[in-house]
A and B are shown apart, each in its own frame.
Chain A
Amino acid sequence: MPDLIPAAAEIFLTTAICVVLLVDAFLEQRHRMMTFRLAMLALIGAALCSAFIVPEGSITILNEAFITDPASNILKLFSYLVVALVFLYSRDYLVRAGLFKGEFFILGLFGLLGVMVMISANSLLILYLGLELLSLSLYALVAFDRESGVAAESAMKYFVLGAIASGTMLYGISVLYGVTGTIGIDGLAEYFAASDALNLPALLGLAFVIVGVAFKFGAVPFHMWLPDVYQGSPTPVTLFVGTAPKIAAFALTWRLLVEGLGELHGSWQDMVIVLSVLSLAVGNVVAIAQTNLKRMLGYSTISHVGFILMGFVAGTEEGLQAAMFYTITYVLMAAAAFGMIIVLSRKGFEAENLEDFKGLNARNPWFALMMMMVMLSMAGVPPFVGFYAKLVVLSSVLDAGLVWLAVAGVMFAVVGAFYYVRIIWYMYFTEPKEAPGLQVPNDLRLVLSANVLGLLALGLFPGALLELCSRVLS
């Protein structure tokens, strides 16, 4: 009987999901809030497992297929946090939109389980398993509003393209297996450490794997699904798609490229540079042309992915830490940004166009201030945390001697600043098109304010989180 304690959080969550699923099946609609409460309890329980039950240190179980290490624990804790944020932001919206169904929470938790499995995967097969668990939950979530044709269309696109990408990745994995004879991440690392000759079949596998990674991240040129999915999904789903899976994508890249194929760094560095620069360019430039906020944030995500990938480029410990810091902070920023859209939406009205933000300062100065802070953080203006995220990534790139890449990064950051600033100008410099006043439930106000003030606090004192990232990844 293997010792399964290191997987306590995953086991707990799986059990909890089954319980939620069963309970939900017997609930009447008016008691549906119970599902929400149970889902939150499941998250808290999982967090307690990760924090207290899972042993510290790096431990592998199940024939080295599953690993927990300090970094995986931290990533999981942040995943719980963002999923909790997603649920809190979404509840009110779902009720108003008549979409308050148990499936949202159950699929969300399944997606989270996929994220956790990916974070802890130490074998290509487990990694792929987690990836599919996450992806299938996401496909279903996107199509979750059955009345919406647009959502069904996005789900279809997402599913077809996602399936192709998964297939590509699986093919790459099989090639790697054929070359090395192992699917263990450690085994891969050992194999490539031992052979320094140029291994063409392995490079072929690598290229396919990178395509899969790029697709999951939404890096250009594998980004086509992303804006459509962001725009087409109900906002709570966009919120989910835009946050937790980014942590998973980071974990995927980290486990696969850094831990498994780290020895091939010289070979994949150029590919990642191309992905990174293209993402920065396309994401930032195309975002300017958008009038739909969700779509704009979709392109902005692409540009942020460019920065996260830039962290991997250096191939150093600092670079990896920078990418992790960027991912975590980006996810918190994205949660706040989509949270804002939810706050401004009402029954039958989605505040998803840029125009809907006009004159927000006159309608509700507090939320305008919050949104301004989120936008400034995304643009990378200090003292918000987005600045430090860019700073650590640029530091790692400069340290690797890639000055031109850093310069390209900041140039596109300036281009990007324009569309973030445009939101601020809509909110502050123009008058509202409708009557002032904005009623926001207290819990939503509280969560959003805490989220945004957290970004400010992290920006004023980024030391602790930076330290955490560097401690767990060294």
Chain B
Amino acid sequence: MVSFPNLSVLIWLPIAAGIFVLLLGSEGERARRGKVVALVASILTFVLSLPLYSGFDIATADMQFVERISWIAAFEAYYHLGVDGISLPLILLTTFLTPLVVIAGWEVVKKRPSQYFAAFLFLEGLMIGVFASLDALLFYVFWEAMLVPMFIIIGVWGGERRIYATVKFFLYTFLGSVFMLVALIYLYLQAGTYGIEAFHQLPLTMREQILIFFAFLLAFAVKVPMWPVHTWLPDAHVEAPTGGSVILAAVLLKMGGYGFVRFSLPIAPDASQILASMMITLSLIAIIYIAFVALAQKDMKKLIAYSSIAHMGFVTLGFFVVFLIAENAMGGDGARLALQGGMVQMISHGLISGALFLCVGVMYDRLHSRQIDDYGGVVNTMPKFAVLMVFFALANAGLPGTSGFVGEFLVILGSFQASFWLAFLAGTTLILGAAYTLWLVKRVVFGDVGNEGVASLEDVGSREYFMLVVLAIAVLVLGVWPAPLLEVMEQTLGNLLEHVSQSKL
């Protein structure tokens, strides 16, 4: 059956546009043209990604929009793409955020703008490739290739300590990934193909499963990032330019979570079962300890970065608490709730953290400072902005009615079926999260005008207003009516739960 290659277009359109923008160069008029091309290409990609949603059949857990042609015959590797309920929302998140990132950098990026926008277009295509790949080798190629534009983005357009931050980012993630590569090759030698679906069906002994689980864990835990391999994130976030921070927080971190549900859980279900308590402990440390760390931050970006780690802790908690619930065998659908919660949390965190980084970017563009102490009373000079910032802060703290609430609530609800204390500890995040975000808002937005800099602030222009409002609407819609998102994931997650409940031994 020959059909329109939706996914290929989504991957290669931005990359082709990126090459074009890169070749245009950054001189004079050409830079402006490059920007326009970047914006048009990213919006076009978003528009073209919508048919994925409208044409998605929610009644099946099978892969959809599948494309499969031979790629490297020697390895039985295929150019194999497809989406299911797990990858579809993440792809839409990517295509939705990239135009906003382009808009965010529109007037701000003065240094070699064409290279900046080209890097984001490359990144977009590669990220979609990661989510859409059904062939492990193809997945790995996209996964690693993605490091390069991000490395350049942080290194060229970042803050003062950008080189330290970006090299740390590169080496950390590279180190994590190469172990995954060894695991993937091992699986290939066992299965005779690089197909991810074939890996899912592959019987493995417990020892193999545990080793493979740890190899994957290194790769994914670094990306998520989980405590204690999270230290690259605050550095990378702080030094990255606004657009880089947004993509990093909103999409790159999700790749870790995606990896867990696409690889670790279904390929090594028995190892996941055994190691679930360890994973839950690490998640809880991220949720509670990192939340306290966030409280102590003086730098706005750093605070949001730590809050990201804490929120991503919920994602991993949701994914692994499933195994404890299954052990308790209390029945009910706690496992499904927790898994759904983790997924919703990923999408929601993508939107909210992206928005918060944009907010910080808006302020940074005006005063060139990220220090909380340099602000205060922003509401007096930037009322429109203040409303939006407060809204996103509340969403970050998990206010009911925003998407931030849905994910956390589902995970906590699911955790109750595992153990009361687990749910209780996870629940503390609602308090701690509220504490650090609201305190941030109090110090930055409210109060009297702190200094001359703040007094001279101008409120958001239409460009900034537009991007923040679009995000606010998305956060609100998902918070009030998450059903469309849950529907899409329903079958796939049900299938996954069934798969992990069967031992591979």
Knowing A395-B189, A425-B167, A470-B74 touch, does A410 contact B151 (C-beta < 8 A)? no
Q: What string of 1s and 0s marks CB contacts (under 8 Å) between B178-217 and chain A? A: 1101100110110000000000000000000000000000
B73 near A467 (CB under 8 angstroms)? yes
Main secondary structure of the interface of A (DSSP, over half): helix
Determine whether A376 belongs to the interface, using a CB cutoff of 8 Å to chain B. Answer: yes
Given the complex, which residues of B lie within 8 Å of A406, measured CB to CB?
182, 185
A391 near B181 (CB under 8 angstroms)? yes
B155 near A425 (CB under 8 angstroms)? yes
Given the complex, which residues of A lie within 8 Å of B175, measured CB to CB?
414
B151 near A407 (CB under 8 angstroms)? no
In the bound assembly, the distance between CA atoms of A413 and B177 in angstroms comes to: 11
Given the complex, which residues of B lie within 8 Å of A387, measured CB to CB?
141, 144
Given the complex, which residues of A lie within 8 Å of B72, measured CB to CB?
462-463, 466
Given the complex, which residues of A lie within 8 Å of B74, measured CB to CB?
463, 466-467, 470
B155 near A417 (CB under 8 angstroms)? no
Given the complex, which residues of A lie within 8 Å of B188, measured CB to CB?
395
In the bound assembly, the distance between CA atoms of A406 and B181 in angstroms comes to: 10
A381 near B144 (CB under 8 angstroms)? yes
B171 near A425 (CB under 8 angstroms)? no
Knowing A403-B182, A414-B174, A428-B156 touch, does A381 contact B189 (C-beta < 8 A)? no
B174 near A417 (CB under 8 angstroms)? yes
In the bound assembly, the distance between CA atoms of A395 and B171 in angstroms comes to: 23
Determine whether A383 belongs to the interface, using a CB cutoff of 8 Å to chain B. Answer: yes
Given the complex, which residues of A lie within 8 Å of B22, measured CB to CB?
369
In the bound assembly, the distance between CA atoms of A417 and B177 in angstroms comes to: 13
Determine whether B170 belongs to the interface, using a CB cutoff of 8 Å to chain A. Answer: yes
- Select A381's contact among B73, B145, B162, beta carbons within 8 Å: B145
B185 near A418 (CB under 8 angstroms)? no
Determine whether B140 belongs to the interface, using a CB cutoff of 8 Å to chain A. Answer: yes
Give B140's nearest chain A residue, CB to CB: A382
Q: What string of 1s and 0s marks CB contacts (under 8 Å) between A454-471 and chain B? A: 000000011100110010
Q: What string of 1s and 0s marks CB contacts (under 8 Å) between B144-183 and chain A? A: 1101100110011000001100110011001100110110
In the bound assembly, the distance between CA atoms of A141 and B178 in angstroms comes to: 40
In the bound assembly, the distance between CA atoms of A384 and B73 in angstroms comes to: 18
Determine whether B71 belongs to the interface, using a CB cutoff of 8 Å to chain A. Answer: yes
B87-114 contacts to A (CB < 8 Å): 112
- Select A398's contact among B148, B178, B189, beta carbons within 8 Å: B189
Determine whether A365 belongs to the interface, using a CB cutoff of 8 Å to chain B. Answer: yes
Determine whether B25 belongs to the interface, using a CB cutoff of 8 Å to chain A. Answer: yes
A398 near B179 (CB under 8 angstroms)? no
A463 near B182 (CB under 8 angstroms)? no
Q: What string of 1s and 0s marks CB contacts (under 8 Å) between A419-443 and chain B? A: 0011011001100000000000000
Knowing A365-B115, A429-B162 touch, does A463 contact B73 (C-beta < 8 A)? yes
Determine whether A399 belongs to the interface, using a CB cutoff of 8 Å to chain B. Answer: yes
Given the complex, which residues of B lie within 8 Å of A410, measured CB to CB?
178-179, 181-182
Give A325's nearest chain B residue, CB to CB: B74
Determine whether A143 belongs to the interface, using a CB cutoff of 8 Å to chain B. Answer: no
A386-417 contacts to B (CB < 8 Å): 387, 391, 394-395, 398-399, 403, 406-407, 410-411, 413-414, 417
Q: What string of 1s and 0s marks CB contacts (under 8 Å) between B473-497 and chain A? A: 0000000000000000000000000
Q: What string of 1s and 0s marks CB contacts (under 8 Å) between A174-216 and chain B? A: 0000000000000000000000000000000000000000000
B71 near A395 (CB under 8 angstroms)? no
In the bound assembly, the distance between CA atoms of A410 and B180 in angstroms comes to: 10
Knowing A382-B141, A399-B189 touch, does A428 contact B170 (C-beta < 8 A)? no
In the bound assembly, the distance between CA atoms of A407 and B175 in angstroms comes to: 11
Give B25's nearest chain A residue, CB to CB: A365
Given the complex, which residues of A lie within 8 Å of B156, measured CB to CB?
361, 428-429
Given the complex, which residues of B lie within 8 Å of A381, measured CB to CB?
144-145, 147-148, 174
In the bound assembly, the distance between CA atoms of A413 and B174 in angstroms comes to: 9
In the bound assembly, the distance between CA atoms of A391 and B137 in angstroms comes to: 10
Given the complex, which residues of B lie within 8 Å of A398, measured CB to CB?
182, 185-186, 189
Q: A467 to chain B: closest CB distance in Å?
A: 6
Given the complex, which residues of A lie within 8 Å of B141, measured CB to CB?
382-383, 387
Q: A81 to chain B: closest CB distance in Å?
A: 22
Q: B171 to chain A: closest CB distance in Å?
A: 6
In the bound assembly, the distance between CA atoms of A381 and B126 in angstroms comes to: 14
A351-400 contacts to B (CB < 8 Å): 361, 365, 369, 372, 376, 381-383, 387, 391, 394-395, 398-399
Q: A35 to chain B: closest CB distance in Å?
A: 38
Q: A23 to chain B: closest CB distance in Å?
A: 43
Knowing A365-B25, A394-B181, A398-B189 touch, does A417 contact B171 (C-beta < 8 A)? yes
A110-164 contacts to B (CB < 8 Å): none
In the bound assembly, the distance between CA atoms of A170 and B179 in angstroms comes to: 42
In the bound assembly, the distance between CA atoms of A231 and B372 in angstroms comes to: 51
A428 near B182 (CB under 8 angstroms)? no
Given the complex, which residues of A lie within 8 Å of B147, measured CB to CB?
381
Given the complex, which residues of B lie within 8 Å of A418, measured CB to CB?
167, 171
B163 near A382 (CB under 8 angstroms)? no
B145 near A403 (CB under 8 angstroms)? no
Give A411's nearest chain B residue, CB to CB: B178
Q: B295 to chain A: closest CB distance in Å?
A: 33
In the bound assembly, the distance between CA atoms of A129 and B275 in angstroms comes to: 60
Given the complex, which residues of A lie within 8 Å of B178, measured CB to CB?
410-411, 413-414
Given the complex, which residues of A lie within 8 Å of B163, measured CB to CB?
425, 429
- Select A428's contact among B71, B75, B155, beta carbons within 8 Å: B155
Knowing A365-B115, A387-B141, A387-B144 touch, does A394 contact B170 (C-beta < 8 A)? no
Give A430's nearest chain B residue, CB to CB: B163
Knowing A365-B115, A376-B148 touch, does A391 contact B170 (C-beta < 8 A)? no
Q: List 20 A-B contacts (CB under 8 A).
A: A361-B115, A381-B144, A381-B147, A382-B140, A382-B141, A391-B185, A394-B182, A395-B188, A398-B186, A406-B185, A414-B174, A414-B178, A418-B167, A418-B171, A425-B155, A428-B152, A429-B156, A429-B163, A462-B72, A463-B71
List the 8 closest pairs (A to B, CB-CB), nearest first: A410-B178, A382-B141, A466-B74, A463-B72, A429-B155, A414-B175, A382-B144, A395-B185
Question: Contacts A381-B144, A429-B156 given; 16 further ones with Cβ under 8 A?
Answer: A365-B25, A381-B147, A381-B148, A383-B145, A387-B141, A391-B185, A394-B185, A395-B75, A414-B175, A421-B151, A421-B171, A424-B155, A425-B155, A462-B72, A463-B71, A463-B72
